[in-house]
Homo-oligomer: A and B are copies of this chain.
């Protein structure tokens, strides 16, 4: 009959320990004689609950808070538990093996003097110290791989703006994965080098894609993590934009993959506008966002990580997409869509969502884009003229063209309008000659615009078959004779709109990132998790580990006094 196990614990208040040291302490304790289980955690409520679930709860009477280290041991006897806890301090002193560096500088500045070739600084210290270390690295003109999380977004924006102005990259915060110059930073798979460049606001997303690419026999030029918040409205995709620009110039990169959770709409439009001007195919996987179609110029939209890899590999093997034609910038800048088919309007809105922002509608993708008044367009507008508000006491616009004719005149007279989209849906019960109804209106609108010295285009999506009573060929010919541009799918219509009205190439903000930082041999300084240092060395990179301690040993009050003294 076994005796009842006993649980005992110890607290080390307010001290800083490297997480790897804590994990090793826990393993060492678990391996001691008579010890059944052990837990070593910062004493947050969540961590204490996890301990409790494993029968390691020390009880409420142990005074330990989120900044205190809590060590709990479950043992066969009181004696074994006591013996284990008595060895905690000795175990905490054990230097990790593996790191084969004789002298360890205690500051980043000293480390960079030891390894001046290091263009990168890896930072994985606790979040509240991370921005300070990153800023110091930028001040030394070094690029930053910032693994730390819990960095406030305002600090992220400040760091990234500073980097942008100096032609430096800040990957992160909360960036787990990068491959630069053939060397993995943080969590990264060992993959063959090749022509596919990755940019991702998603760590395991990048890993899944690079692993699939490798399995398909192709390889990776660079993989640039941006941190999960980079494509949010607050940060605005600063790093992703720099990365696109760098991979555009990188001669080793033939195809680019951009992976992220859904970006803020205006960030998506800005980045995809950049991506469309790359002269290289770009595979886009915005996980969890509706696909705007499968292809928009050189952009290819993927529905999964595995598919993103497959498309990229296929594109390497295929002919390279032609660069997007230069955008036409004369004429009005706004688009107006006047649809009789609700689903056609909706799919057009979806496609345009990656090209233009904002697009308003009476049947919008999100409520914030609902037209205040369906009778008055705002900026870019796509209307479903078959919606209830337009059809009370009226026939459907596929039969009765009166409303659409009047609205077309209204939109064509607006000098801010450069492109009008229409649909023509043939078939049973529809108007007997829709092109015949629309063609004179189209001619009139175009000639009035010309007379006013404006550039206006009208594109018409025609849905129908050669068997339809209206005669598809005649309908198309009538529209083309009126100088309308005829499309046969929503995808074609959206592509046409993208070429006509997509954002022109932006002025490059900040300084370009020099391509040298992406080329081997890689050298780096590591501040934080020693396993990152070990990994760099194992991959043949030159590296220096900083023996980092929090300022004033983690005493924030004292650290504040020291910082003020330094500043004065």
Q: Which residues of A contact B (CB under 8 A)?
A: 19-20, 22-23, 26, 39, 41-44, 46-47, 49-50, 53-54, 66, 69, 149-150, 176, 184, 186-192, 202-205, 207-208, 210-212, 214-215, 228, 259, 261, 287-291, 293-294, 301, 303-307, 340-344, 346-347, 350, 365, 374-375, 388-396, 398-400, 402-403, 406, 410, 423, 425-430, 463-469, 488-491, 529, 531-532, 535, 538-539
The 3 closest A-B pairs by CB, nearest first: A42-B393, A204-B341, A190-B467
Task: List B contacts of A305 (CB < 8 A).
Answer: 343, 347, 489-490
How far, in angstroms, from A489 to B211 measured CA to CA in the complex? 10
A531, B425: Cβ atoms under 8 Å? no
Interchain CB contact (< 8 A) of A427 among B26, B184, B468: B184
How far, in angstroms, from A95 to B184 measured CA to CA in the complex? 80
User: 7 A-B contacts, Cβ less than 8 Å apart?
Assistant: A23-B402, A187-B396, A189-B427, A189-B464, A208-B489, A211-B463, A291-B304
Could you tell me the distance in whole angstroms from the C-beta of A313 to the nearest C-beta in chain B? 14
Task: List B contacts of A394 (CB < 8 A).
Answer: 19, 22, 41-42, 47
* Known A189-B428, A464-B211, A538-B469: A403·B343 in contact at CB below 8 Å: no
A203, B426: Cβ atoms under 8 Å? no
* Known A53-B375, A301-B303, A391-B149: A288·B211 in contact at CB below 8 Å: no
Task: List B contacts of A184 (CB < 8 A).
Answer: 427-429
Could you tell me the distance in whole angstroms from the C-beta of A55 to the nearest C-beta in chain B? 10
B294, A307: Cβ atoms under 8 Å? yes
Task: List B contacts of A399 (CB < 8 A).
Answer: 20, 23, 531
Interchain CB contact (< 8 A) of A375 among B49, B176, B293, B463: B49
B341, A428: Cβ atoms under 8 Å? no
Chain copies in the assembled complex: 2
Interchain CB contact (< 8 A) of A341 among B203, B340, B341, B465: B203
How far, in angstroms, from A375 to B50 measured CA to CA in the complex? 7
Closest to A186 in B: B429
Could you tell me the distance in whole angstroms from the C-beta of A83 to the nearest C-beta in chain B? 22
Interchain CB contact (< 8 A) of A44 among B365, B392, B428: B392
Interchain CB contact (< 8 A) of A428 among B187, B208, B346, B467: B187
B215, A53: Cβ atoms under 8 Å? no
Interchain CB contact (< 8 A) of A54 among B344, B406, B466: B406
Task: List B contacts of A291 (CB < 8 A).
Answer: 290-291, 303-304
How far, in angstroms, from A44 to B490 measured CA to CA in the complex? 33
Task: List B contacts of A191 (CB < 8 A).
Answer: 465, 467
Extra inter-chain contacts (6) besides given A211-B463, A214-B466, A429-B529, CB under 8 Å = A44-B392, A66-B393, A150-B388, A189-B427, A287-B290, A428-B535
Could you tell me the distance in whole angstroms from the C-beta of A316 to the nearest C-beta in chain B? 18
B23, A395: Cβ atoms under 8 Å? yes
Closest to A423 in B: B204
How far, in angstroms, from A190 to B471 measured CA to CA in the complex? 11
B23, A392: Cβ atoms under 8 Å? no
A207, B392: Cβ atoms under 8 Å? no
A468, B189: Cβ atoms under 8 Å? yes
* Known A202-B342, A365-B288: A392·B66 in contact at CB below 8 Å: yes
Task: List B contacts of A426 (CB < 8 A).
Answer: 189
Task: List B contacts of A186 (CB < 8 A).
Answer: 428-429
Closest to A286 in B: B290
A350, B288: Cβ atoms under 8 Å? yes
A429, B535: Cβ atoms under 8 Å? yes
How far, in angstroms, from A390 to B211 measured CA to CA in the complex? 26
Could you tell me the distance in whole angstroms from the C-beta of A340 to the nearest C-beta in chain B? 8
B208, A463: Cβ atoms under 8 Å? yes
Task: List B contacts of A469 (CB < 8 A).
Answer: 190, 538
Closest to A350 in B: B288
Task: List B contacts of A20 (CB < 8 A).
Answer: 395, 399
* Known A54-B406, A429-B188: A46·B392 in contact at CB below 8 Å: yes
Closest to A427 in B: B189
How far, in angstroms, from A192 to B463 measured CA to CA in the complex? 15
* Known A290-B289, A305-B490, A406-B53: A207·B463 in contact at CB below 8 Å: yes
Task: List B contacts of A228 (CB < 8 A).
Answer: 342
Could you tell me the distance in whole angstroms from the C-beta of A493 to the nearest C-beta in chain B? 11
Task: List B contacts of A41 (CB < 8 A).
Answer: 393-394
Task: List B contacts of A210 (CB < 8 A).
Answer: 465
B343, A202: Cβ atoms under 8 Å? yes
B344, A208: Cβ atoms under 8 Å? yes
Could you tell me the distance in whole angstroms from the C-beta of A350 to the nearest C-beta in chain B? 6
* Known A287-B350, A465-B211, A489-B212: A429·B47 in contact at CB below 8 Å: no
Could you tell me the distance in whole angstroms from the C-beta of A365 to the nearest C-beta in chain B? 7
* Known A189-B426, A291-B291: A344·B23 in contact at CB below 8 Å: no
* Known A188-B428, A467-B191, A531-B399: A304·B489 in contact at CB below 8 Å: yes
